[in-house]
């Protein structure tokens, strides 16, 4: 029979193409693939194909002539109908052929487990075609052997029965990348038979072998369910950064980043750069004038060509994603052109309208047209937008300005900039509700920041430490620490007090200084630093201030301390603008209301006291930390995301948005009718998976289907008591591994399921475990506040609590355990105990 008459029949062509795709096909699967019901028909065609195919190990494969025939077939598509060629284009094989590699681990595994019986057992499993045993799988010399085994058996998925994936998953992936290429992710699954069987059940080899069989079977079932992992698109990075906030954090960052070659847009809300540091007298530790340091830094910023400064500017909206954001800025009118203004102050001298000077915290007055402070940038007069109506009615200043810099009819402008990353450094505010301590600057009860202004040489007293009420030197000063509404540590008021004590002693050596810590207000976890040189430190309970005319008394512990000046050392509170920023920047506030850095979306950074109370030194070091992050992000031409960790089926998604609030990293956003995952921000914790009622969202590695299958397979084990333990990858699973490494023996009645975070554990997993016949469920996660994914443990805790409440029969059967990665002995003892408890109940 000539080649063309062989190829004339579509079924025969199909057989050849199928064999090319799948390499090796059994008779029955060939029957299924071709949709034939008569075996006779297939036998006939196989016979007709003659020497193009051959039968090998009960299955058919192409011979060399067969490969040639396919080549000819493809060349002469015109003589064939073509339709069947298109329908079976060369895709990846669809028949799953699993190969199992068992590592003996230099007889560590083989000494305990019965490898022959394991081999016999796994060969009977569905889709398993070959089992290969290696002495030491992790050694590179086996690479060649594995590759030939892989190709000879036409394996397309691999299960490795060896040690813990925590220690060796990366090594195995590296080995297999050589011939699996980019499919390595979806084609490998590891059964941990060393740490979970061989090393922990040394004295019970028979049950250990049984456990190993079940673990391998579960891994086989998991690898079958593994799917392709899509790769994200790459994004071209903008080599520029937007910094919101021109305080010390913003300035330091701008300098560091500009010197690294990035283009910087420095955006400040007020008319001048400087922020809070500009108002301080001196900086602790450096003992140098704060304005001097700041003005030096400002002049450096001004000189740097890569920095563009936008004063009087606010952020209106943000669009785009990491690597390429578009910021819409609104530059509010300054009414005085800073390029024309020389700072001659003629307009200030003539201005008839006065108001409180916010730079000096209202301790004195200023004109409506003003220069913020001596070393401000730009050094030009300005008028606030809120005061402009009064100015438009007066217009005296317009006449005196020689350069015609004043334009009272200026309007706001909109600016659009493109940046690769943005940094929020808007700082914090100061605690203001001070009426309970009778705050009154006119009666010398002042805050620490007002005291800074008094000390400062450009302040209301021109640097003289005098009482504001009568201008005399104070004879006694009291400092009250940690002034706040609730028990929160300010993190800096201890060192601030030390600075004040030294400063006062230097200026008025005879002055009596009392330092008060109110124990009731003292934060629980903080240890006050007190100056060993200063003896008059009082830790008292319930502090009160009494004012009798001009005299002020501090009443504490039934004693009365008279003082001429009282300084309230106030704490920092979150910036009020944070609430507005939340509308377009994704982050969550922490318990104190500051920005929680960990929850920021990718490409957005928080720096300085916007993330929590901070002193000067910490702010500077925080700025350099953030700078390194930004530089490493923007140093690449393109951002290439890692493989997706999460997949969304848009057809099933009902857009309810519950996952949006559940994600601890703000990686999921919902806009109109579209759900979007930020591939850079998603850490793959899987906390969104259980709350999705339609299963539209799922992890790519440990999918819900894989975990449910694992539970089912595990439940097949024959034991009088069966316990399933869901262990989070970073703590629980690591603790189980630690028990293995230390060879701490524990009961073989417990089987371990790895989840990425305990927050991923669905109530269904727990219910399904009981349905499958497990006697107890252990949930092993991290200690409080040490969850890798912020709050996964508390989420599963809530679920378990609810479950116990509504199904009281499960009350004693579910246990949530906190453990750290090194506590192998604790893991073993907990597991043993809970198994014993169940036996007792039974």
Partner 1 sequence: MKTKILINSFTSCGGCISSIIELEIFPDIFDSVEFVYFPLIKDAIDIEKCDIALIEGYITRKDQIKDMKLIRRNSKKVISVGTCSIFGGISSMVKEIPLKSVNQIIDLDGFIPGCPAPPELLGNSLMAILNGEEIILPENNLCSECGLRPENGLKTKVKIKKLLPDKPPKKCLLLENVLCLGPITRAGCKAKCIESNMPCEGCMGTVSREFTANIINFLASLDVSNDLLTYEGLFFRFSRPDLPT
Q: Which is closer to partner 1, CB of 197 or CB of 659?
A: 659
Element (H, E) at 170: helix 165-180
Least Å distance, CB 227 to partner 1, is: 17
Residue with tokens 């563009």: 308
Least Å distance, CB 820 to partner 1, is: 24
Select the residue interacting with partner 1 from 375, 683, 799, 826 (CB under 8 A). Answer: 799
Distance of CA 95 to the CA centre of its chain: 39
Q: Which is closer to partner 1, CB of 350 or CB of 670?
A: 670
Q: Is the Cβ–Cβ distance between 780 and 728 less than 8 Å?
A: yes
Least Å distance, CB 592 to partner 1, is: 16
Least Å distance, CB 730 to partner 1, is: 22
Q: Which is closer to partner 1, CB of 406 or CB of 766?
A: 766
Least Å distance, CB 317 to partner 1, is: 14
Q: Does 806 bind partner 1 (CB under 8 A)?
A: yes
Cα Rg for the chain, rounded, in angstroms? 36
Distance between CA atoms of 516 and 561, rounded to whole angstroms? 11
Q: Which is closer to partner 1, CB of 165 or CB of 759?
A: 759
- Other C-beta atoms lying within 10 Å of the C-beta of residue 39: 11
Q: How far is CA 310 from CA 258, 415, 627, in A?
A: 15, 10, 20
Nearest to 388 by CA among 297, 312, 321: 312
Distance between CA atoms of 159 and 164, rounded to whole angstroms? 13
Q: Which is closer to partner 1, CB of 341 or CB of 814?
A: 814
Instruction: Tell me which residues in 757-786 interact with partner 1 (CB under 8 A).
Output: 762-764, 766-767, 770-771, 773
Least Å distance, CB 691 to partner 1, is: 5
Least Å distance, CB 680 to partner 1, is: 20
Q: Which is closer to partner 1, CB of 82 or CB of 657?
A: 657
As a residue count, the chain comes to 842
Select the residue interacting with partner 1 from 177, 317, 580, 661 (CB under 8 A). Answer: 661
Q: Does 660 bind partner 1 (CB under 8 A)?
A: yes
Number of residues that bind partner 1 (CB under 8 A): 41
Residue-wise DSSP of 494-507 = HHHHHHHHHHHHHH
Select the residue interacting with partner 1 from 507, 551, 625, 798 (CB under 8 A). Answer: 798
Six token digits for residue 172:
């195995």
Stretch that binds partner 1, among 178-186, 321-329, 426-434, 651-659 (CB under 8 A): 651-659
Least Å distance, CB 687 to partner 1, is: 9
Distance between CA atoms of 798 and 758, rounded to whole angstroms? 11
Distance between CA atoms of 491 and 487, rounded to whole angstroms? 12
Binding mask 665-684 for partner 1 (x = CB under 8 A): ---xxxxx------------
Residue-wise DSSP of 336-386 = B-TTT-----HHHHH---EEE-GGGTTSSEEESEE---TT-SS-S-EE-GG
Select the residue interacting with partner 1 from 206, 547, 576, 655 (CB under 8 A). Answer: 655
Q: Is the Cβ–Cβ distance between 792 and 684 less than 8 Å?
A: no
Q: Which is closer to partner 1, CB of 209 or CB of 715?
A: 715
Helices (H), 8-55: 10-22, 27-34, 39-49
Select the residue interacting with partner 1 from 163, 214, 573, 653 (CB under 8 A). Answer: 653
Q: Which is closer to partner 1, CB of 276 or CB of 799?
A: 799
Nearest to 758 by CA among 697, 707, 810: 707
Select the residue interacting with partner 1 from 171, 803, 825, 832 (CB under 8 A). Answer: 803
Distance between CA atoms of 225 and 190, rounded to whole angstroms? 14
Q: Which is closer to partner 1, CB of 216 or CB of 663?
A: 663
Q: Which is closer to partner 1, CB of 83 or CB of 671?
A: 671
Report residue 761: phi and psi, to 5°. -70, 120
Q: Does 807 bind partner 1 (CB under 8 A)?
A: yes
Select the residue interacting with partner 1 from 78, 632, 651, 785 (CB under 8 A). Answer: 651
Least Å distance, CB 798 to partner 1, is: 4
Six token digits for residue 674:
């579209």
Stretch that binds partner 1, among 11-19, 81-89, 504-512, 663-671 (CB under 8 A): 663-671
Helices (H), 551-590: 577-581
Least Å distance, CB 661 to partner 1, is: 4
Q: Does 601 bind partner 1 (CB under 8 A)?
A: no
Select the residue interacting with partner 1 from 659, 711, 787, 819 (CB under 8 A). Answer: 659
Q: Does 584 bind partner 1 (CB under 8 A)?
A: no
Q: Which is closer to partner 1, CB of 480 or CB of 776?
A: 776
Q: Does 353 bind partner 1 (CB under 8 A)?
A: no
Least Å distance, CB 806 to partner 1, is: 5
Select the residue interacting with partner 1 from 28, 234, 654, 742 (CB under 8 A). Answer: 654
- Other C-beta atoms lying within 10 Å of the C-beta of residue 270: 18
Instruction: Tell me which residues in 685-714 interact with partner 1 (CB under 8 A).
Output: 690-691, 693-695
Distance between CA atoms of 527 and 489, rounded to whole angstroms? 10
Binding mask 105-134 for partner 1 (x = CB under 8 A): ------------------------------
Q: Does 321 bind partner 1 (CB under 8 A)?
A: no
Q: Which is closer to partner 1, CB of 475 or CB of 791?
A: 791
Stretch that binds partner 1, among 153-161, 242-250, 410-418, 658-666 (CB under 8 A): 658-666
Distance between CA atoms of 577 and 584, rounded to whole angstroms? 12
Handedness of CA 587, 593, 595, 598 (dihedral sign): negative
Half-sphere exposure in the Cβ direction for 808 (13 Å, CA): 0
Stretch that binds partner 1, among 563-571, 600-608, 616-624, 794-802 (CB under 8 A): 794-802
Query: Given its phi and psi angles, is residue 189 left (phi above 0), alpha (psi -120 to 50 degrees) or beta?
Result: beta
Least Å distance, CB 567 to partner 1, is: 38
Select the residue interacting with partner 1 from 125, 631, 656, 741 (CB under 8 A). Answer: 656
Report residue 531: phi and psi, to 5°. -70, 120
Distance of CA 773 to the CA centre of its chain: 37
Select the residue interacting with partner 1 from 41, 551, 636, 652 (CB under 8 A). Answer: 652
Distance between CA atoms of 758 and 816, rounded to whole angstroms? 10
Half-sphere exposure in the Cβ direction for 797 (13 Å, CA): 12
Work out the end-to-end distance of the chain between its first and last CA atoms, rounded to an integer number of angstroms: 74
Stretch that binds partner 1, among 94-102, 185-193, 319-327, 656-664 (CB under 8 A): 656-664
Helix (H, G, I), strand (E, B) or coil at 740: helix
Taking the CA atoms of residue 77, residue 79, residue 85 and residue 86 in that order, the dihedral angle to the nearest 10 degrees is 70
Most distant pair of Cα atoms in the chain: their distance: 122
Taking the CA atoms of residue 150, residue 155, residue 157 and residue 160 in that order, the dihedral angle to the nearest 10 degrees is -50
| Contacts with partner 1, residue ranges (CB under 8 A) | 651-662, 668-672, 690-691, 693-695, 762-764, 766-767, 770-771, 773, 795, 798-799, 801-803, 805-807, 809-810
């Amino acid at each position: 029979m000539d080649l063309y008459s062989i190829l004339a029949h579509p079924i025969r062509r199909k057989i050849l193409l199928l064999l090319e795709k799948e390499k090796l096909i059994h008779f029955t699967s060939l029957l299924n693939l071709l949709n034939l019901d008569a075996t006779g028909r297939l036998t006939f065609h196989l016979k007709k194909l003659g020497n193009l195919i051959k039968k090998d190990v009960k299955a058919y494969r192409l011979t060399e002539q067969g490969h040639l025939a396919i080549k000819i077939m493809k060349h002469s598509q015109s003589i064939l109908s073509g339709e069947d060629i298109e329908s079976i284009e060369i895709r990846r094989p669809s028949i799953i052929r699993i190969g199992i590699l068992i590592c003996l681990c230099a007889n560590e595994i083989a000494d305990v487990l019965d490898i022959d019986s394991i081999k016999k057992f796994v060969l009977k499993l569905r889709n398993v075609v070959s089992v290969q045993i290696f002495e030491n799988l992790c050694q590179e010399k086996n690479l060649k052997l594995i590759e030939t085994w892989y190709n000879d058996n036409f394996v397309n998925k691999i299960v490795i029965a060896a040690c813990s994936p925590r220690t060796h998953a990366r090594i195995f992936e590296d080995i297999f990348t050589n011939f699996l290429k980019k499919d390595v992710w979806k084609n490998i699954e590891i059964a941990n038979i060393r740490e979970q069987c061989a090393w922990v059940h040394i004295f019970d080899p028979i049950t250990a072998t049984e456990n190993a069989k079940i673990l391998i079977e579960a891994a086989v079932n998991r690898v079958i369910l593994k799917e392709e992992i899509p790769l994200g698109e790459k994004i071209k990075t903008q080599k520029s950064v937007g910094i919101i906030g021109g305080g010390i954090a913003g300035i330091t960052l701008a300098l560091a980043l500009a010197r690294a070659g990035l283009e910087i847009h420095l955006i400040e809300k007020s008319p001048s750069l400087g922020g809070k540091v500009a108002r301080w007298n001196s900086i602790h530790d450096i003992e140098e004038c704060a304005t001097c340091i700041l003005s030096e830094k400002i002049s450096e910023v001004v000189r740097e060509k890569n920095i563009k400064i936008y004063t009087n500017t606010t952020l209106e909206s943000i669009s785009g994603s990491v690597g390429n954001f578009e910021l819409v800025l609104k530059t509010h009118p300054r009414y005085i052109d800073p390029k024309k203004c020389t700072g001659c102050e003629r307009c200030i001298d003539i201005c008839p309208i006065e108001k409180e000077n916010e730079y000096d915290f209202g301790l004195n007055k200023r004109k409506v047209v003003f220069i913020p402070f001596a070393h401000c940038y730009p050094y030009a007069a300005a008028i606030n937008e809120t005061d402009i109506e009064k100015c438009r009615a007066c217009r005296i200043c317009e006449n005196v300005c020689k350069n015609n810099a004043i334009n009272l009819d200026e309007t706001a402008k909109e600016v659009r900039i493109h940046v690769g990353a943005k940094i929020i450094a808007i700082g914090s505010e100061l605690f203001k509700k001070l009426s309970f301590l009778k705050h009154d600057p006119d009666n010398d009860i002042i805050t620490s920041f007002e005291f800074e202004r008094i000390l400062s040489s450009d302040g209301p007293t021109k640097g003289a430490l005098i009482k504001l009420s009568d201008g005399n030197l104070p004879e006694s000063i009291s400092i009250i620490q940690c002034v706040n509404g609730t028990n929160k540590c300010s993190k800096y008021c201890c060192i601030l007090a030390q600075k004040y004590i030294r400063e006062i002693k230097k200026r008025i050596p005879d002055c009596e200084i009392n330092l008060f810590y109110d124990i009731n207000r003292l934060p629980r976890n903080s240890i006050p630093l007190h100056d060993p040189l200063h003896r008059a430190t009082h830790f008292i309970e319930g502090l009160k201030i009494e004012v009798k005319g001009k005299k002020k008394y501090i009443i504490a512990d039934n004693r009365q301390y008279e003082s001429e000046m009282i300084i309230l050392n106030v704490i920092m509170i979150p910036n009020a603008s944070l609430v507005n920023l939340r509308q377009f920047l994704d982050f969550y506030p922490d318990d104190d209301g500051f920005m929680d850095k960990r929850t920021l979306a990718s490409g957005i950074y928080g720096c300085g006291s916007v993330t929590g109370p901070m002193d000067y030194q910490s702010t500077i070091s925080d700025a350099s930390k953030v700078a390194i992050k930004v530089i490493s992000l923007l140093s690449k031409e393109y951002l290439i995301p890692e493989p997706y960790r999460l997949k969304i089926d848009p057809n099933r998604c009902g857009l309810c948005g519950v996952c949006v609030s559940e994600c601890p990293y703000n990686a999921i956003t919902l806009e109109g009718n579209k759900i979007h995952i930020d591939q850079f921000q998603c850490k793959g914790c899987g906390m969104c998976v259980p709350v999705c009622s339609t299963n539209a969202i799922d992890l790519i590695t440990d999918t819900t289907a894989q975990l449910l299958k694992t539970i089912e397979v595990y439940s097949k084990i024959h034991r009088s008591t069966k316990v399933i333990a869901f262990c989070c990858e970073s703590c629980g699973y690591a603790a189980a591994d630690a028990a293995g490494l230390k060879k701490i023996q524990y009961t073989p009645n417990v089987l371990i399921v790895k989840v990425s975070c305990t927050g991923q554990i669905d109530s269904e997993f727990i219910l399904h475990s009981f349905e499958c016949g497990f006697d107890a469920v252990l949930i092993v996660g991290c200690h409080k506040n040490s969850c890798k994914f912020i709050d996964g443990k508390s989420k599963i805790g809530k679920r378990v609590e609810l479950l116990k409440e509504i199904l009281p029969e499960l009350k004693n059967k579910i246990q949530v355990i906190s453990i750290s990665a090194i506590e192998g002995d604790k893991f073993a003892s907990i597991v043993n105990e809970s198994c014993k408890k169940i036996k007792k109940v039974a």
